A = this chain, B = another copy of it.
Amino acid sequence: MIYITRKEHFNAAHKLFNPAWDEARNAEIFGKCANKNWHGHNYDLYVTVKGKINPDTGFVVNLKDLSEIIKRDVIELLDHKNLNVDVPNMPLMPSTENVAIFIWNILAPKIQSMGATLHGIKLYETANNYVEYFGEH
């Protein structure tokens, strides 16, 4: 069992604003992240896959294929988008936590069908904050 990670990135706008709350409550909880005209980030995405090595290739998965799947099914959907507005089925609060799980849910079955297992999603929102999700409940 060995683990391989591919890094991709996307740039997106979002805001954190709970419509069930008034503006004062949103400002108190989310601070500047609640700015109604949005702000944005360069997101760095690390996708970690685990499995056995194929002796013909030396690979768990072919990184060309893994990179193509991430780009086609995740980056295309999120890059240069507004996470609150442009992305079907995104949770109401596009926090880093929720975006990481959203990406997990897209990629886990795709990687299963490559003969490997999605191990983890690591998503940097800024150089100082990141979230990791391993499919645990």
Report the interface size class on chain A: 35 or more
Q: Are B62 and A29 in contact (CB under 8 A)?
A: yes
**Among all A-B residue pairs, the 10 with the closest Cβ atoms:** A40-B40, A58-B95, A58-B93, A32-B80, A37-B82, A1-B136, A13-B38, A13-B13, A39-B80, A3-B132
Q: Does A74 contact B (CB under 8 A)?
A: no
Interface string of A52-71 (1 = CB under 8 A from B): 01011111101110000000
Contacts of A29 in B (CB 8 A): 57, 62
Interface string of A29-54 (1 = CB under 8 A from B): 11111010111111000001000010
Q: Are A13 and B31 in contact (CB under 8 A)?
A: no
Q: Are B81 and A37 in contact (CB under 8 A)?
A: yes
